[in-house]
Copies of this chain bind each other. A is one copy, B any other.
């Protein structure tokens, strides 16, 4: 039986592994092997596979029996290739030890350099290099790294020691210490090491090496790494690999150097070699920032041969990996070595530009291009961002929920009315409130950004702000209002003070921070058109001959102007037009309030008659804006409770309008109040008790459609019934609605019908989906409410405990942000199966806030839905996420 292979060698142009073996070699090891095989100069070395890590933990932290021998054999091979021996007193082999899992993981141990240095071999290096200072500096760095990283000696202790020496000598910079100083420092470090580990610093390089290997594997299960994997939902990895590689030195003299470069500009995406380097320096020195690195172009002047070689390698690696590369290199005494290559991190701008240009260069195809840009990267392009430099010098006041992306700065105002009047006077304002309610909408619309102390990801403020594309931070609990001022964290602000809110991160900053503008460049347009092609798959076939299912993106829009935005952002329809938002408009609110406060059907009908033409006008505007695309209009949804006047003045106004007594009116309004309005008299329940309300709305829709049709415009309105929990609700409302539509259409000599569908947002609706489907032309999952009911979490109150749920890992994500597949998703799947069992072709969509979340969009596609609907400003993100969902689940 052949023993299992645990160690993979690379060097001298040949490697036992390749880039395809990330699973067992880790990302770093696999790329080192790949580069070696490509003939790119890489210092030789070997990789202990991730399987070792797995077996180590499976076997009570014992290594496989054959491992020590295999490592010894590979070390021998390395010594042969380099012509040096580990621990040799004259010309010792020095190695680096680095961890590297299949996915980069900041929680784990990183790097130990210069391993192999001992009290004896340091002298050999000093002699051989002719640079004693270099040798002792390398040794003291090794002790520090080994002590700190592998053995847990406090980092600060080493820093204190070096400071002590500098004070003693009266110098300020490390570089001012000479060889003797560093030798002294080595002795201090060794004492420190003994003090904390109770052992002498190991003088056997093999012991050093195994100590480092133990430390790497040990770090796989440290708290930080476990937490990191949990937070990022990284599962199914075997463990980390360990890379042991012969050292090269960029600080060997002026013909040496080190640098980092990118095959394209990671900030802009421009196809131009980009990077920086420092001569006579190690990687740390570049990071430390004491010397200013040179732009990569200057290397041409420094050493043209090396520069050209690097350029050639850059081209080869990018062509080979077909992606922008982030490379580390070192030049030792005029010789170039590549130490790492990986796909480069990039900004949203760069991601789009790289993806589009690489496709044009025939490096990648369109599907690959679409997978190269994350929805978050695309999102950066669609909203103003705080400039990087501004963030560095900023003061974070507190952090709330990142409820609506983008950054905004302005002067604090406390009410919607203040927002209105300040903006009229030419100010830019941030509306800061405990929470918002429907009357604040106009004030929200004129504000640059919105900040609330309470409420979660689907609170009123959050939903409205996203709908308006206005940056918003919600549920910032450290905000306390007091008389005429507001405390944000420790700081007190008054009306007119400047703050900056970042709705993408949830951070609140003091003062005015510089913002960068969004842009919808030509690249973005091109990129999104590719996404659309992938989603619109009706004509394409899968390998097995079946058709691929298309996946549409619609928008939630309540007003003609929103619909216009949605159309411009590429929405293929309106998935949710909330008619109640129309009622909060000043011109309609008083009629509506009068209607709900009326005690007779006749009175209610009278007031509804006044609203009818106003609703009709809105519907006409939306239908026109959508140019024939489907528009799903949801009939009145919120509890009457929400329409009750808030102040005595409003009640008096209403009483005057209704010509009634204020006291009587108050009693009637009081009776409308609810203990749990979310579970109260709302949605289609209103149509069972007051059928005249939906009658009016359906008539307005029919009239609007008729008006457009008579002007030869194409329209496709769909009527949606909310809060359905029983098929009889649908039966009753459908019958009434069809009668009204038929009457209006007949009066206008129009021969057609309108689709009538059901929202599924009450658990019972999902559970009875087969019966509902018999009465519905389509379903739309209202996942905001469905999440509320399924979890029994009120979106207005859940912020009180949701943070603790996330911190304690009870929930991995906020279910109002990312759709909960286990519970809510299960109900959606049950509903889908039941509905399709009686009506196989029934159209299914989602119109909750989750419709704009990439993870949730992926679920929706897998669950078999036909479309998602989200706020207009989120449509581009959804177009991308939907395309990626199709590709991932292809």
Please tell me which one of the listed residues B797, B801, B823 contacts residue A675 in the complex, with CB atoms under 8 A apart: B797
Please tell me which one of the listed residues B728, B762, B792 contacts residue A679 in the complex, with CB atoms under 8 A apart: B792
- CB neighbours of A826 from chain B (8 A): 767
- CB neighbours of A729 from chain B (8 A): 810
- Residue A805 is within 8 A (CB to CB) of chain B in the complex: yes
Nearest chain B residue, comparing its CB with the CB of A810: B728
Q: Which of A667-719 contact B (CB under 8 A)?
A: 674-681, 685-686, 688-689
Are B804 and A688 neighbours in the complex by a CB distance under 8 Å? yes
Are A723 and B792 neighbours in the complex by a CB distance under 8 Å? yes
Cα of A811 to Cα of B679 in the assembled complex, Å:
17
Q: Say whether, besides A764-B791, A767-B826, A808-B688, A678 and B681 are in contact (CB < 8 Å).
A: no
Cα of A679 to Cα of B787 in the assembled complex, Å:
11
Nearest chain B residue, comparing its CB with the CB of A808: B688
Q: Which of A757-814 contact B (CB under 8 A)?
A: 761-764, 767-768, 785, 788-794, 796-798, 800-801, 804-805, 808-811
Please tell me which one of the listed residues B793, B794, B810, B820 contacts residue A688 in the complex, with CB atoms under 8 A apart: B810
CB distance from A850 to the nearest CB of B (A): 16
Cα of A823 to Cα of B761 in the assembled complex, Å:
14
Cα of A680 to Cα of B798 in the assembled complex, Å:
6
Cα of A678 to Cα of B792 in the assembled complex, Å:
8
Please tell me which one of the listed residues B675, B788, B801 contacts residue A677 in the complex, with CB atoms under 8 A apart: B675
Are A827 and B679 neighbours in the complex by a CB distance under 8 Å? no
CB distance from A594 to the nearest CB of B (A): 19
- CB neighbours of A680 from chain B (8 A): 794, 797-798, 800
Nearest chain B residue, comparing its CB with the CB of A800: B681
Q: Which of A618-675 contact B (CB under 8 A)?
A: 674-675
- CB neighbours of A739 from chain B (8 A): none
Nearest chain B residue, comparing its CB with the CB of A826: B767
Are A794 and B675 neighbours in the complex by a CB distance under 8 Å? yes
Cα of A732 to Cα of B809 in the assembled complex, Å:
10
- Residue A747 is within 8 A (CB to CB) of chain B in the complex: no
- CB neighbours of A804 from chain B (8 A): 688-689
- Residue A725 is within 8 A (CB to CB) of chain B in the complex: yes
- CB neighbours of A791 from chain B (8 A): 725, 762, 764
Cα of A725 to Cα of B791 in the assembled complex, Å:
6
- CB neighbours of A785 from chain B (8 A): 792
- Residue A822 is within 8 A (CB to CB) of chain B in the complex: yes
Are B689 and A732 neighbours in the complex by a CB distance under 8 Å? no
CB distance from A663 to the nearest CB of B (A): 10
- CB neighbours of A794 from chain B (8 A): 674-680
Nearest chain B residue, comparing its CB with the CB of A674: B797
Are B726 and A810 neighbours in the complex by a CB distance under 8 Å? yes
- Chain B CB within 10 Å, residue with most, of A674, A676, A810: A676
* Count of chain A residues with a beta carbon within 8 Å of a chain B beta carbon: 49
Are B809 and A728 neighbours in the complex by a CB distance under 8 Å? yes
- CB neighbours of A797 from chain B (8 A): 674-677, 679-681
Cα of A761 to Cα of B820 in the assembled complex, Å:
18
Q: Say whether, besides A726-B810, A732-B810, A823-B725, A688 and B792 are in contact (CB < 8 Å).
A: no
Cα of A131 to Cα of B824 in the assembled complex, Å:
81
Cα of A679 to Cα of B675 in the assembled complex, Å:
11
CB distance from A422 to the nearest CB of B (A): 27
Cα of A22 to Cα of B797 in the assembled complex, Å:
59
Q: Say whether, besides A725-B791, A804-B688, A763 and B681 are in contact (CB < 8 Å).
A: no
Nearest chain B residue, comparing its CB with the CB of A793: B679
- CB neighbours of A792 from chain B (8 A): 678-679, 723, 725, 761-764, 785, 789
CB distance from A335 to the nearest CB of B (A): 55
Nearest chain B residue, comparing its CB with the CB of A672: B800
Cα of A681 to Cα of B810 in the assembled complex, Å:
15
Q: Which of A810-842 contact B (CB under 8 A)?
A: 810-811, 820, 822-824, 826-827
Cα of A810 to Cα of B820 in the assembled complex, Å:
31
Are B823 and A768 neighbours in the complex by a CB distance under 8 Å? yes
- CB neighbours of A763 from chain B (8 A): 763, 789-790, 792, 823, 827
- CB neighbours of A820 from chain B (8 A): 764
Please tell me which one of the listed residues B728, B764, B788, B796 contacts residue A790 in the complex, with CB atoms under 8 A apart: B764
Interface residues as binary, A391-419 with B (CB distance below 8 Å gives 1, 0 otherwise)? 00000000000000000000000000000
CB distance from A256 to the nearest CB of B (A): 54
Q: Which of A731-768 contact B (CB under 8 A)?
A: 732, 761-764, 767-768
Cα of A824 to Cα of B762 in the assembled complex, Å:
12
Q: Say whether, besides A679-B676, A764-B791, A822-B767, A801 and B725 are in contact (CB < 8 Å).
A: no
Cα of A689 to Cα of B723 in the assembled complex, Å:
31
Nearest chain B residue, comparing its CB with the CB of A680: B797
Cα of A654 to Cα of B822 in the assembled complex, Å:
43
Are A808 and B676 neighbours in the complex by a CB distance under 8 Å? no
Are B790 and A822 neighbours in the complex by a CB distance under 8 Å? no
Cα of A499 to Cα of B793 in the assembled complex, Å:
42
Cα of A725 to Cα of B676 in the assembled complex, Å:
19
Q: Say whether, besides A680-B797, A797-B680, A801-B681, A790 and B767 are in contact (CB < 8 Å).
A: yes
Q: Which of A448-497 contact B (CB under 8 A)?
A: none
Cα of A794 to Cα of B674 in the assembled complex, Å:
9
- Chain B CB within 10 Å, residue with most, of A725, A732, A798, A808: A725
CB distance from A811 to the nearest CB of B (A): 7
- Chain B CB within 10 Å, residue with most, of A685, A763, A785, A804: A763
Cα of A791 to Cα of B804 in the assembled complex, Å:
28
> A interface vs B, CB < 8 Å?
674-681, 685-686, 688-689, 723, 725-726, 728-729, 732, 761-764, 767-768, 785, 788-794, 796-798, 800-801, 804-805, 808-811, 820, 822-824, 826-827
Minimum-distance CB pairs A-B, first 5: A679-B794, A764-B823, A676-B794, A675-B796, A680-B797
List 9 A-B residue pairs with CB atoms under 8 Å apart, sorted by A's residue number: A676-B677, A676-B796, A679-B798, A688-B804, A723-B792, A726-B810, A729-B810, A764-B791, A767-B823
Known contacts A674-B800, A677-B797, A681-B800; 11 additional CB pairs below 8 A are A676-B678, A676-B797, A678-B794, A685-B801, A688-B808, A688-B810, A725-B791, A725-B792, A732-B810, A763-B792, A767-B826
